[in-house]
């Protein structure tokens, strides 16, 4: 059977396309080329992390991942499988950032009373406020987001010269973060007078990646990448012992 020149060129082009795609995949997967794959600059505090610290390799081989997703598409599997890397979800964040006594832990917002907050600002997801690859600390643009849960706030022994109830009635929601850090992780005393609170411009600069206006010291610090890898290795060893 004779193959026409046109068909031959098509096959050669097809083969070259696959070859070049494989070369590009291998080259771009090398650690030194992570910047080419990144969607944008890392957020404040994450600048020195490698891609794999969040984008961990998905389970199984590429063939197994493709096979699992095909089965999911045709209804022979209940859930889709991660392809290439695992999905970056809340647990990935909490692996390094989980801490006791968080004033606003994610699980609290699953309660029925916070249905409006979930709808308005997605408070059950870390990335609702900390969308990665934006080169800043906090990506939530609404600095008065406290209104979604604290419209009934009233203190018996209010320390301020103007009560919290009055601030709520006046819709002065930007003043919340001028006294309080959301997660309550900084070692500092809240102001007792509005004139002593943190200027809103400084709070916004903190959101954008500037120094903390609350305190230099924190109650708890996130794991470094080295500590995270050590924790991950220990967990794998523990799982291996259980299987035996």
Write out pLDDT tens, residues 54-93: 999 899 998 899 899 999 999 999 999 998 889 999 999 9
Q: Where are the domains of the chain?
A: 1-37, 38-207
Mean pLDDT over the full length of the chain: 89
Report pTM.
0.80
- pLDDT category, 1, cuts 50, 70, 90? low
- pLDDT category, 137, cuts 50, 70, 90? very high
What is the number of other CB atoms lying within 10 angstroms of the CB of residue 15?
A: 10
How many CA within 13 A on the CB side of residue 136? 15
Per-residue confidence (pLDDT) for residue 62, from 0 to 100: 85
- Report CA dihedral (132, 136, 139, 144) to the nearest 10 degrees: 150
Name the more confident of 126 and 52: 126
The two counts, helices (H) then strands (E), for the chain are 8, 0
Both tokens assigned to 29: 């997967």
> pLDDT tens digits, residue range 225-238?
999 999 989 988 88
């Amino acid at each position: 059977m004779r193959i026409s020149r046109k068909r031959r060129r098509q096959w050669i082009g097809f083969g070259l396309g696959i070859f070049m795609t494989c070369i590009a995949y291998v080259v771009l997967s090398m650690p030194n080329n992570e910047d080419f794959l990144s969607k944008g600059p890392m957020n404040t505090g994450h600048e020195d992390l490698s891609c794999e610290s969040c984008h961990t390799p998905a389970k199984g081989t590429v063939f197994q991942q493709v096979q699992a997703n095909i089965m999911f598409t045709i209804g022979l599997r209940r859930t889709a499988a991660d392809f290439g890397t695992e999905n970056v979800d809340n647990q990935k964040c909490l692996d390094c950032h989980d801490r006791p006594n968080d004033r606003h832990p994610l699980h609290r917002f699953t309660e029925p009373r916070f249905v409006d907050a979930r709808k308005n600002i997605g408070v059950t997801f870390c990335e609702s406020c900390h969308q990665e690859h934006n080169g800043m600390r906090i990506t939530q643009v609404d600095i008065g987001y406290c209104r979604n849960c604290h419209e009934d706030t009233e203190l018996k022994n209010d320390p301020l010269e103007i009560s919290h109830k009055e601030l709520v009635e006046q819709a002065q929601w930007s003043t919340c973060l001028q006294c309080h850090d959301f997660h309550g992780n900084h070692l500092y005393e809240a102001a007792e007078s509005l004139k002593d609170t943190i200027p809103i411009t400084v709070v916004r600069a903190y959101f954008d990646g500037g120094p903390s206006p609350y305190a230099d010291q924190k109650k708890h610090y996130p794991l470094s990448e080295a500590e995270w890898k050590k924790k991950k290795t220990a967990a794998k060893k523990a799982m291996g012992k259980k299987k035996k």
